Structure 1
Amino acid sequence: MYDPHRKQHWDGKVGIWYFTEQYAAKRRSKNRAKGDICTRNIDTVDRTVYKNYLLTKVFPAIKEKWPRKDRGQVIFVQQDNAKPHVPPSEPDIVAAGTEGGWNIRIWCQAPNSPDLNCLDLGVFASMQSLQHRLPRKGIEALIASVEEAYRDMKTDTVDNIFLSLQACMLEILRQKGGNLYKTPHLGKAKLRRAKLLPVSLSCSRDLYEAAIVLLRAASRGSALLFDSSSI
């Protein structure tokens, strides 16, 4: 994605964060002196911790890195349905997401749908393969290794993952919300070499309207589960 304000292409990466905390070592060991600042995992990642990360790390990073020309467009931050995750209508989240003319929203991943998660669809596998080339011991070294793998992940890889996500979305629509389909293979490398790789995949009007009919039927007279007019 080209950012005309910065006059450069944006690689699509927002950031990566760790649920860790720092502490002073209470005693000396062979690896550190007493009083050295060390890193450890946060014991409990509850809703308070998670919400704080969204407000102080994720949302600010989006606003810093996202191309300004798209500031008014809807930006979804997808989460699964784990207990610590916040409701999309959480007032503090809504306020932070709309501050400054932005339209950042929380979006919950559909259950039993790993193909709707870019991390599961390819980010984790790509980073893991890079990280394994840099074996290190200790939590600080592990963090450094993950950061390096994240930094080295190519823009083409990010593009491929999002195209795969869109292809899976189309298959789910064709399956009327089901997940009994084979992961689509688009031949992205071949299309890229031929300079025919699309920026995004389109959905036919018939498929879109059929999906809306299904959603309205599923709502059974209550509020529509997915309000297309708000996007």
Structure 2
Amino acid sequence: MQQDNAKPHISLDDEYFQSNATKDSFDIRLICQPLNSPDMNVLDLGFFNAIQGLQYQKAPNFVDVLIEAVQKSFDEYPPTKLNHTFLTLQSCMISILKAGGSNKYKAPHMKKHRLEGQNCLPR
């Protein structure tokens, strides 16, 4: 199980977690994601930038209008783009595993638009 490095999370050697993670023949281990890795956060990876771009097009001047613009941007965000973002997240996770857990890897390119045109894009 992977967690980010935020202070509120449990420590890697937490006794309560360790005792429960090995119950019933389970072998669950806790690790922290690589430092400075926005690629492991699906919101940072693509979603926030996308809805922020949509929201900027509306140019709100007041907080209520800003909230409405963000909500509308969220509602208008195409599910296919969200699928692309989650596929990129999955590719980054695989690359991190191949790199032994480090953040020294190149962001993978799946050619999602080409695969989508061929009806071969995973969901």
Out of 179, 182, 187, the position equivalent to 2:103 is 179
Please report how far the alpha carbon of residue 170 of structure 1 lies from its aligned counterpart in structure 2 after TM superposition.
Answer: 0.7
Indicate the structure (1 or 2) with the bigger Cα radius of gyration. 1
The answer as to whether partners of 1:127 and 1:153 remain within 8 angstroms in 2 is yes
RMSD: 2.5
The residue number in structure 1 matching 2:22 is: none
- Cα distance in 2, alignment partners of residues 109 and 134 from structure 1: 38
The answer as to whether partners of 1:131 and 1:149 remain within 8 angstroms in 2 is yes
The answer as to whether partners of 1:121 and 1:161 remain within 8 angstroms in 2 is yes
The residue number in structure 2 matching 1:122 is: 46
* One-letter amino acid of the counterpart of residue 115, structure 1: D
Please list every run of 5 or more consecutive structure 2 residues that lacks an aligned counterpart in the other structure. Answer: 11-29
Q: As a proportion of its length, which structure holds more helix? A: 2
Please report how far the alpha carbon of residue 121 of structure 1 lies from its aligned counterpart in structure 2 after TM superposition.
Answer: 0.5
Please report how far the alpha carbon of residue 108 of structure 1 lies from its aligned counterpart in structure 2 after TM superposition.
Answer: 9.0
Partner of 2:57: helix, strand, or coil?
coil
Higher relative contact order (CA 8 A, sep 6+): 2
Q: Please identify runs of 4+ aligned residues in structure 1 that moved more than 6 A.
A: none
- Cα distance in 2, alignment partners of residues 150 and 108 from structure 1: 32
The residue number in structure 2 matching 1:188 is: 112
TM-score, normalising length: structure 2: 0.73
* Count of matched residue positions in the alignment of Structure 1 and Structure 2: 104
Please report how far the alpha carbon of residue 80 of structure 1 lies from its aligned counterpart in structure 2 after TM superposition.
Answer: 4.6
- Cα distance in 1, alignment partners of residues 60 and 45 from structure 2: 25
Q: Per the alignment, do residues 151 and 168 of structure 1 end up closer, same or farther by CA in structure 2, a change over 3 Å counting?
A: same
Please list every run of 5 or more consecutive structure 1 residues that lacks an aligned counterpart in the other structure. Answer: 1-75, 88-106, 200-231
Residues 140-190 of structure 1 show CA distances to partners (whole Å, capped at 9, x for unaligned) of 111111101111100001100110001001110110011111111111011
TM-score, normalising length: structure 1: 0.41
Please report how far the alpha carbon of residue 198 of structure 1 lies from its aligned counterpart in structure 2 after TM superposition.
Answer: 1.6
Q: As a proportion of its length, which structure holds more strand? A: 1
Partner of 2:115: helix, strand, or coil?
helix
The answer as to whether partners of 1:81 and 1:108 remain within 8 angstroms in 2 is no
Please report how far the alpha carbon of residue 132 of structure 1 lies from its aligned counterpart in structure 2 after TM superposition.
Answer: 1.3
Partner of 2:52: helix, strand, or coil?
helix
